[in-house]
A and B are shown apart, each in its own frame.
Chain A
Amino acid sequence: MTEQSSSEQKDPRAVKPEPLLHVTHLRAYLSSRHGVVKAVDDVSFEVGHGEAMGLVGESGSGKSVMSRAIMGLMPRRSDRTGSVLFKGRELIGLPRKEMSEIWGPQISMVFQDPGRSLNPVVPVERQLTEGMRRHLGLGRSEARGRALQLLREVGVSDPERRLRNYPHEMSGGMCQRVMIAAALACEPDLLIADEPTTALDVTIQRQILDLLRRVQRERNMSMILISHNLPLVAGRTDRTAVMYAGRLAETGSTRQVFESPRHRYTAALLAATPTITHERHSPFRLIPGTLPNPVKPPAGCRFAARCDHFHGPCHELGPDMTPVAAGHHVACADPVPAPAAVGARGGEHDGR
Chain B
Amino acid sequence: MTTTDTAAERATGQPRPPVAPGRLPRVTLDRRGTSALVRLSQGWLVLIVALAVLAPVLPLASYAIPIGAPHTAPDLGSFSTLLGTDGLGRSMLSRVVYGARVSLVVGAAACLIAFVVGTVLGLLAGYFGRWIDSVVVLVSDVMLAFPGLVLLLALASIFSPSVKTLILGMGVMGVPQFVRLARAHTLSWSAREFVRAAKGLGANPFRILFREILPNVLPPLASYMPIVLSHIVVAEGSLSFLGLGIPPPRPSWGGMVSAAKDSIADQPMLVFVPALAIFFTVFALNQIGDHLRSRFDRTVEQ
Instruction: Tell me whether A and B are bound partners.
Output: yes
- Cβ of B30 within 8 Å of any chain A Cβ, yes or no, is yes
- Contact yes or no, B3 A15, CB < 8 A: no
CA–CA, A313 to B28, complex, Å?
Answer: 34
- Cβ of B19 within 8 Å of any chain A Cβ, yes or no, is yes
- Cβ of A33 within 8 Å of any chain B Cβ, yes or no, is yes
- Cβ of B200 within 8 Å of any chain A Cβ, yes or no, is no
By a CB distance below 8 angstroms, the chain A residues around B27 are 29-31, 36, 77-79
Find the B residue at minimum CB distance from A79.
Answer: B25
- Contact yes or no, B2 A88, CB < 8 A: yes
- Cβ of A197 within 8 Å of any chain B Cβ, yes or no, is no
Q: Is the interface of B mostly helix, strand, loop or mixed?
A: loop
- Cβ of A5 within 8 Å of any chain B Cβ, yes or no, is no
- Contact yes or no, A15 B13, CB < 8 A: yes
- Contact yes or no, A82 B19, CB < 8 A: yes
CA–CA, A22 to B32, complex, Å?
Answer: 38
Find the B residue at minimum CB distance from A92.
Answer: B19
By a CB distance below 8 angstroms, the chain B residues around A82 are 19
Scoring A residues 106 to 117 as 1 if CB is less than 8 Å from chain B, else 0, what string do you get? 000000000000
By a CB distance below 8 angstroms, the chain A residues around B191 are none
Scoring A residues 18 to 60 as 1 if CB is less than 8 Å from chain B, else 0, what string do you get? 1000101101111101011000001010000000000000000
- Cβ of B75 within 8 Å of any chain A Cβ, yes or no, is no
- Cβ of B26 within 8 Å of any chain A Cβ, yes or no, is yes
- Cβ of A83 within 8 Å of any chain B Cβ, yes or no, is yes
Scoring B residues 4 to 15 as 1 if CB is less than 8 Å from chain A, else 0, what string do you get? 001101100111
By a CB distance below 8 angstroms, the chain A residues around B3 are 89-90
- Contact yes or no, B21 A42, CB < 8 A: yes
By a CB distance below 8 angstroms, the chain A residues around B6 are 85, 88-90
- Cβ of B249 within 8 Å of any chain A Cβ, yes or no, is no
- Cβ of A80 within 8 Å of any chain B Cβ, yes or no, is yes
* Number of B interface residues in the complex (CB < 8 A): 23
By a CB distance below 8 angstroms, the chain A residues around B2 are 87-89
Give min CB distance, A107 to chain B, whole Å.
Answer: 14
A18-B24 contact in complex given A25-B18, A25-B19, C-beta closer than 8 Å: no
By a CB distance below 8 angstroms, the chain B residues around A28 are 25
- Contact yes or no, A29 B24, CB < 8 A: yes
CA–CA, A114 to B1, complex, Å?
Answer: 33
- Cβ of A81 within 8 Å of any chain B Cβ, yes or no, is yes
- Cβ of B23 within 8 Å of any chain A Cβ, yes or no, is yes
By a CB distance below 8 angstroms, the chain A residues around B29 are 31, 35-36, 77
- Contact yes or no, B19 A83, CB < 8 A: yes
By a CB distance below 8 angstroms, the chain B residues around A30 are 27
Give min CB distance, B301 to chain A, whole Å.
Answer: 13
- Cβ of B298 within 8 Å of any chain A Cβ, yes or no, is no
By a CB distance below 8 angstroms, the chain A residues around B30 are 31, 33, 77
Give min CB distance, A347 to chain B, whole Å.
Answer: 26
CA–CA, A79 to B27, complex, Å?
Answer: 6
- Cβ of B16 within 8 Å of any chain A Cβ, yes or no, is yes
Among B23, B24, B25: residue with most chain A CB under 10 A: B25
- Contact yes or no, B9 A88, CB < 8 A: yes
CA–CA, A170 to B26, complex, Å?
Answer: 42
By a CB distance below 8 angstroms, the chain B residues around A42 are 21
Give min CB distance, B294 to chain A, whole Å.
Answer: 13
By a CB distance below 8 angstroms, the chain B residues around A29 are 24-27
A24-B18 contact in complex given A31-B30, A89-B2, C-beta closer than 8 Å: yes
Find the A residue at minimum CB distance from B23.
Answer: A81
A24-B19 contact in complex given A15-B13, A89-B1, C-beta closer than 8 Å: yes
CA–CA, A47 to B18, complex, Å?
Answer: 17
Scoring A residues 159 to 192 as 1 if CB is less than 8 Å from chain B, else 0, what string do you get? 0000000000000000000000000000000000
Find the A residue at minimum CB distance from B6.
Answer: A88
CA–CA, A24 to B21, complex, Å?
Answer: 10
Among B14, B21, B27, B29: residue with most chain A CB under 10 A: B27
- Contact yes or no, A79 B7, CB < 8 A: no
By a CB distance below 8 angstroms, the chain B residues around A31 are 27-30
Give min CB distance, B223 to chain A, whole Å.
Answer: 19
Give min CB distance, B9 to chain A, whole Å.
Answer: 7
Give min CB distance, B31 to chain A, whole Å.
Answer: 10
CA–CA, A99 to B15, complex, Å?
Answer: 23
Find the B residue at minimum CB distance from A39.
Answer: B25
CA–CA, A44 to B30, complex, Å?
Answer: 29
Give min CB distance, A70 to chain B, whole Å.
Answer: 14
By a CB distance below 8 angstroms, the chain B residues around A83 are 16, 18-19
CA–CA, A80 to B25, complex, Å?
Answer: 5
CA–CA, A19 to B265, complex, Å?
Answer: 76
- Contact yes or no, B18 A22, CB < 8 A: no
CA–CA, A315 to B32, complex, Å?
Answer: 34
By a CB distance below 8 angstroms, the chain B residues around A79 are 25-27
Find the B residue at minimum CB distance from A101.
Answer: B1
- Contact yes or no, A27 B24, CB < 8 A: yes
By a CB distance below 8 angstroms, the chain A residues around B7 are 88
By a CB distance below 8 angstroms, the chain A residues around B23 are 81
Give the interface of B toward A (CB within 8 A): 1-3, 6-7, 9-10, 13-16, 18-19, 21, 23-30, 32
Closest 6 CB pairs of A and B: A79-B25, A29-B25, A15-B13, A88-B6, A29-B27, A31-B27
- Ordered by A's residue number, 30 sampled pairs between the chains whose C-beta atoms are within 8 Å are A15-B14, A16-B13, A18-B10, A18-B13, A24-B16, A24-B19, A25-B19, A27-B24, A27-B25, A29-B24, A31-B27, A31-B28, A31-B30, A35-B29, A36-B29, A44-B18, A77-B29, A78-B27, A79-B25, A79-B26, A80-B25, A81-B25, A83-B16, A83-B18, A85-B16, A88-B9, A88-B10, A89-B1, A89-B2, A89-B3
Give the interface of A toward B (CB within 8 A): 15-16, 18, 22, 24-25, 27-31, 33, 35-36, 42, 44, 77-83, 85, 87-90
Taking A30-B27, A90-B6 as known contacts, 13 extra A-B pairs with beta carbons closer than 8 A to each other, sorted by chain A number, are A27-B25, A28-B25, A29-B24, A29-B26, A29-B27, A31-B29, A77-B30, A78-B27, A80-B25, A81-B19, A81-B23, A88-B7, A89-B6
